[in-house]
Amino acid sequence: MNACHLAAQDIACRRGDRLLFAKLSFDLKGGSALQLTGSNGIGKSSLIRILAGLLEPHAGSLERVGVIGLLDERPALDPHLPLGQALEFWQRIDGAADNAAGRLGLSDLLEVPVRFLSTGQKKRAALARLIGQQALVWLLDEPLNGLDTKGVALVEELAAEHCRAGGIAVIASHQPFSLPGMARIELRDFAA
């Protein structure tokens, strides 16, 4: 992987009249992982969106080096297409062909329209799309929601492989996430 870097300096986030967090800083280089933890509504998803460039921070600055891939509650797959065609759409854009669907246990579902997939199947399909994107920086917002024990272990394994290959993973989750050497930030420590 090419070099990647993701740093935040004194980031603050305001949603409406409410300041969710302030003075949050970190510096991640290739091979690093960070878990953002905290209760619902504390700002984990907002911070992920700030890191992705979808929201502006209320204060502070960001440095992003490397292509960013976002996995959140929206799988970015056409719900009316069969899963195989929905993934092929992104493969044409991303220019990547791999066997992520097979590895994620989706091979038998390629003819099923995305709208008929279970929550866990949609999450694994979104992961297949993320892998095909070949992004250096993974931003994973609640990546374990809807997954069974085997699915959780697979997501943890994929994130570990991504980091070992020199990528960065930022995981926003209130659920435990096992990844060797991962740093953790508890957002309540930065609550305003």
Residue 1, pLDDT score: 53
Query: 5-190: what CATH class?
Result: alpha beta
Q: How far apart are CA 49 and CA 126, in angstroms?
A: 17
Residue 183, pLDDT score: 96
Q: pTM for the full model?
A: 0.92
Q: Where along the chain do its domains lie?
A: 5-190
Q: Which of 122, 128, 137 is nearest to 99 (CA)?
A: 128
Residue 98, pLDDT score: 67
Q: Which of 62, 131, 147 is nearest to 99 (CA)?
A: 131
* DSSP-assigned states of every residue in 34-98: EEEE--TTSSHHHHHHHHHTSS--SEEEEEEES-EEEE-S---S-TTSBHHHHHHHHHHHHT---
Contact of 42 with 190, CB cutoff 8 Å: no
Residue 163, pLDDT score: 97
Q: Which of 172, 163, 146 is nearest to 29 (CA)?
A: 163
Residue 162, pLDDT score: 96
Residue 96, pLDDT score: 66
Render each residue's pLDDT in the chain as its tens digit; 192 residues. 568 999 999 999 998 899 999 999 999 999 999 999 998 889 999 999 999 999 999 999 999 999 999 998 888 899 999 999 999 998 888 876 567 888 888 999 999 999 999 998 999 999 998 998 889 999 999 999 889 999 999 999 999 999 999 999 999 998 899 999 999 999 999 987
Token output for 112: 């099923």
